[in-house]
Amino acid sequence: MGRGAAAAATAAAAVAPADPQPLAVAFESAIASRSPRLGRAAHARALRLIAPALPPFICAHLVNLYSKLDLPAAAAAALASDPHPTVVSYTAFISGAAQHGRPLPALSAFAGMLRLGLRPNDFTFPSAFKAAASAPPRSTIGPQIHSLAIRFGYLPVDPFVSCAALDMYFKTGRLKLARHLFGEMPNRNVVAWNAVMTNAVLDGRPLETIEAYFGLREAGGLPNVVSVCAFFNACAGAMYLSLGEQFHGFVVKCGFEMDVSVLNSMVDFYGKCRCAGKARAVFDGMGVRNSVSWCSMVAAYAQNGAEEEAFAAYLGARRAGEEPTDFMVSSALTTCAGLLGLDLGRALHAVAVRSCIDANIFVASALVDMYGKCGCVEDAEQIFYETPHRNLVTWNAMIGGYAHIGDAQNALLVFDDMTRSGETAPNYITLVNVITSCSRGGLTKDGYELFETMRERFGIEPRTEHYACVVDLLGRAGMEEQAYEVIQGMPMRPSISVWGALLGACKMHGKTELGRIAAEKLFELDPQDSGNHVLLSNMFASAGRWAEATDIRKEMKNVGIKKDPGCSWVTWKNVVHVFRAKDTKHEMYNEIQALLSKLRKQMQAAGYMPDTQYSLYDLEEEEKESEVFQHSEKLALAFGLICIPPGVPIRIMKNLRICVDCHRAFKFISGIVGREIIDLALNMEHMSWFTPEVSRIQLGGVGELLKATNAEICTEAMHPIFAIWLSLD
């Protein structure tokens, strides 16, 4: 062929109608690569080569392309531009809208397809049912689609359509209809059984999940990965440790232990059943781990009070190259709250901001909780009010933060905002937090009234936790006899926390006889707890009944009960400085004693008198005064005043509740030195003092702190185990 003939052939090929098959392949490639740019390029190529009218084959591919790439406007335009739409085009649009959480456009397109006289097929109905699953519980859309599926002969014989309808009924809360449909299904495959199991787990019905699993086995069906994961989730929800351990053996026997999803569910199961060690054993045996694996391990430790191990697991995930997820960061933040590690929490907050997950509801709620428990209620407020959509956990965290510092007024204000907003209804934890805040804030009447009316106002039955709170509420107000009457009227057996609250109140107000009754009940429930024996001994000591106090101490020694030593600690320059009462081992002992001596003179000049009523020994008054000034809290405070620069709050952590004398002394010292002093106790309330004459120094707040991305934010942590913090990012 000559040069002129070749050019003519090329020109003819350029204007000839294009073969649509290569274009279809291009559309599928764009979907597989999740590339809108490639999809639009293929669309433009089709318009150029096949204009003016695209064939139905290409139109269907375009609708499918834009629907799966979650481009709703383009998908709707492609469907509207098709002069002769087919059931394939409509099904692609309905499927894409349903999968991407847009049920209304999906159902509207389904109705439009019916108006055109197009018959839905076995792919259209499952997508329509998926969209109907997001409809309100009382909506009739789902049953109407169900009736159409029966009319067209797909129900109940088609297992694919039947499973979709079954899932829809479960997700819309129509359990009776779901069970009826399940009973009608002639061919129940594993997908149908899985629909029953997974929805029962999600709805908090673990026993139904377990029954469905055994129903699958009795029917001769073989479980798959979804079935196995659902069973472990059910055992975790019901705390069936023995059953889950037996199932673990079955999983190993059948070879499911090689699947990462199954192993993740096992880690989660053991963590929720209080077996963090077994969860770790499963985790260590995993050949392949993903982000869920690490998140499950962090959560397993966090749920069992192993904060240091949980944070170490988080650091291990980061070293393994895992990017921080909302669940991972929120779980790690929970460990910071348990460790009272404010610096760790701030650094994690920075990680959340850099990862663009700080606005996530779970992360935001964890941040509110962490800042509240670490005594930074202003930072907790900032995050709380900047969160656009709050859930129950967010509200509870903010109310709990106020309860932690005894700010009853603000706790009640937030509680009122919660009930008026209608965003979410309070649960039993909400009321525990509110009553606790009233107890610590001195609003006895408000707290007791809420307890008395919680059943009528909110439909919440009082639990043991509420009774413990109200006993503490009345006890702090000096109404121990009324608190005892509340205990006697409890519909359930009083717990350790209930009797402990009464014993603490009796010690506070010197009600020794009633305190002895509470102590005897505590000895029955937990005879090895040293705290109850010490509390009773101290109560007798404060009443001057030294013989009885000594007898209790001797009894503890005879039966081998050891008192947990009280200690306080301050973190400075990434080192934890721990102090115990009468501690003489610290390298700055002389400087600390010199400052305490100076402060003691200044405090006495300002009107301070040591409170020695809780001195544990029968000593002379002068000896008692010297003894209370050697408490671990005061030693830690003196160290903080020496080392921590002016303007920086001094945070003192303590493993026990702050004593009455230290409480009073800190108020005086705060006014004398013009410093903010925050004393936090693990799992207890904390106190904050600051002289009103000195304006508070704002250190930029959380917002400005987190704008920085330098290594200063990710400083080493308060505990030696976190010395590798700088390698985190």
Alpha-carbon gap, residue 528 to 522, rounded angstroms: 10
Give Cα separations from 150 to 145, 176, 191, 634 (angstroms).
9, 18, 20, 78
Residue scoring higher pLDDT (292 or 533): 292
Structure tokens at 88: 């394939």
**Greatest extent of the chain over all pairs of C-alpha atoms, in Å:** 123
Average pLDDT over residues 274-303: 95
Q: Which residues on neighbouring strands pair with residue 568, listed in sequence order?
A: 579, 654
Give Cα separations from 453 to 290, 450, 459, 473, 481 (angstroms).
48, 5, 9, 16, 21
Alpha-carbon gap, residue 479 to 481, rounded angstroms: 6
First to last CA, the chain: 66
What is the tens place of the pLDDT at every residue in 357-388? 988 999 999 999 999 988 889 999 999 999 98
Alpha-carbon gap, residue 262 to 248, rounded angstroms: 10
Q: Is 622's pLDDT higher than 50?
A: no
Average pLDDT over residues 188-206: 94
pLDDT given at position 82:
87
Q: What is the mean pLDDT of the chain?
A: 83
Average pLDDT over residues 196-211: 95
Q: Is 535's pLDDT higher than 80?
A: no
Label residue 691 by pLDDT band (50, 70, 90).
very low
Structural domain boundaries in the chain = 406-559, 567-683
Alpha-carbon gap, residue 598 to 692, rounded angstroms: 22
Q: For residue 281, how many C-alpha atoms fall within 13 Å in the half-sphere facing its CB?
A: 7
Alpha-carbon gap, residue 528 to 5, rounded angstroms: 102
* Nearest to 537, CA basis, from 561, 512, 558, 559: 512
pLDDT given at position 43:
87
% the chain with pLDDT above 90: 51
Q: Which residues on neighbouring strands pair with residue 677, listed in sequence order?
A: 650, 689
**In contact, 257 and 251? CB cutoff 8 Å:** yes
Task: Give the pTM.
Answer: 0.75
| Orientation of helix 206-218 relative to helix 225-238, angle to 10° | 140
* Nearest to 232, CA basis, from 222, 246, 219: 246
pLDDT given at position 530:
66
For residue 344, how many other CB atoms are within 10 A of its CB? 28
Alpha-carbon gap, residue 728 to 215, rounded angstroms: 48
Which CATH number is correct for 406-559, 1.25.40.10, 3.40.50.2000, 1.10.357.10, 3.40.50.300? 1.25.40.10
**In contact, 38 and 29? CB cutoff 8 Å:** yes
409-413 contacts at long range (C-beta below 8 A, 24 or more positions apart): 409/441, 409/443, 411/437, 411/438, 411/441, 412/437, 412/438, 412/443, 412/446
* Nearest to 521, CA basis, from 536, 493, 492, 499: 499
- In sequence order, which ranges of 304-427 are alpha helices (DSSP H)? 307-319, 326-339, 342-354, 361-373, 377-386, 392-404, 408-421
Radius of gyration of the chain (CA): 33
Alpha-carbon gap, residue 168 to 281, rounded angstroms: 38
Q: Is 9's pLDDT higher than 80?
A: no
Alpha-carbon gap, residue 569 to 639, rounded angstroms: 10
Q: Is 552's pLDDT higher than 90?
A: no
For residue 392, how many other CB atoms are within 10 A of its CB? 16
Alpha-carbon gap, residue 524 to 514, rounded angstroms: 16
Residue scoring higher pLDDT (243 or 589): 243
Tracing tokens 């129900």 back to the chain, one arrives at 155
Alpha-carbon gap, residue 560 to 546, rounded angstroms: 21
